Structure 1
């Protein structure tokens, strides 16, 4: 085994709190002796998330989702708009010198999705990567919907994107977020994905839930994010912004 990862199996939470927890876990990677962490999570209600660099006003206005009654939250990672509900999400938080995240960002996408693909192939033998040679650049597409078209090394099943990812690298810490859209039971997917990381990365896992301090820090960040209009909109804020 190369290393041991912390494993967090979280219950369903709000989109804002889920994003806050991932950010807190990323910040913990800057503390002395950080432990690389794999966190699985889901949603207590449907929500949209947008990438860090997307304009929330233009995105939700262009796509006509303001009247859906579904909240929108901003990720601190990049990428396009994603509708969350039945997807299984996971995040990886590591130090910047983690061997699986060295070099070009797309290489780390390949490392992560190679492990995920390896774990899921017993369930879905036809899972494969998106061919990077045929992927146009996403730069400048601020209204982009993440799962409308694959990015380099996204996972596909029968030509349809079923797993995408985004990253943030800041101050020597890395946050990798991913969403997986497959019909298998959540616990089944988790079990197979963990096995994929164990076999492909040669790492072990120790389950350790969020500490009280981590949870309270995330709740404080959740409240701060909810108070920042360009970071998150509740349904009523969207109504006021676009239909008042």
Structure 2
């Protein structure tokens, strides 16, 4: 069984958090023999947008004021990160570590199962979505809906609401 490296970071800026995730991803592809779990927080409300999103369709910059907006190395849609949130990143070479899942779907399922066990250990209800709910891709004014506007397969829900989201990138 592989050893995991665990990094627990306190609140950091959006730019730092995304740069750290990118660094860990690069290291996983080239140097790191062990998978890494990074848990972190945000020093102020911040928005991340998916790797392939167009900024002008993802957020209305005029309404955001000084809220930082940064791009993730993973996919997905715009997401507001706020106080009290715990964010995770997992970086590892899935070819060397089968426990990361050999497909995107397998990875999503394995990660969701672990997060659900965590919620349940805290006494909180949580379950896995097994199908995609219809996604309304366009919001008002031509902006795309945010990440929590819909539920995708293997995301975590409770009482019909999305609790946690995941996005991935494979090298």
TM-score band (shorter)? Answer: 0.7 to 0.9
In structure 1, C-alpha distance between the alignment counterparts of 2:111 and 2:38, rounded to whole Å:
14
After superposition, residues 1-244 of structure 1 pair within 5 angstroms as: 2-32=1-31, 34-61=33-60, 65-69=61-65, 70-86=67-83, 87-97=85-95, 98-132=97-131, 134-136=132-134, 143-170=144-171
TM-score, structure 1 normalization: 0.62
Stretches of structure 1 lacking an aligned partner (at least 5 in a row): 171-244
C-alpha contact 2:112 2:155 (8 A) present in aligned 1: yes
C-alpha contact 2:59 2:78 (8 A) present in aligned 1: no
Task: Quote the offset at 1:122 in angstroms.
Answer: 2.5
TM-score, structure 2 normalization: 0.87
SS of 2:39's partner is: strand
In structure 2, C-alpha distance between the alignment counterparts of 1:30 and 1:60, rounded to whole Å:
31
Stretches of structure 2 lacking an aligned partner (at least 5 in a row): none
Q: What's the RMSD between the two structures over aligned residues?
A: 2.1
Task: Give 1 or 2 for the bigger CA radius of gyration.
Answer: 1
The count of residues paired between Structure 1 and Structure 2 equals 165
Task: Quote the offset at 1:120 in angstroms.
Answer: 1.8
C-alpha contact 1:54 1:143 (8 A) present in aligned 2: no
In structure 1, C-alpha distance between the alignment counterparts of 2:31 and 2:77, rounded to whole Å:
33
C-alpha contact 2:29 2:92 (8 A) present in aligned 1: no
Q: Which has the higher helix share?
A: 1
C-alpha contact 2:49 2:78 (8 A) present in aligned 1: yes
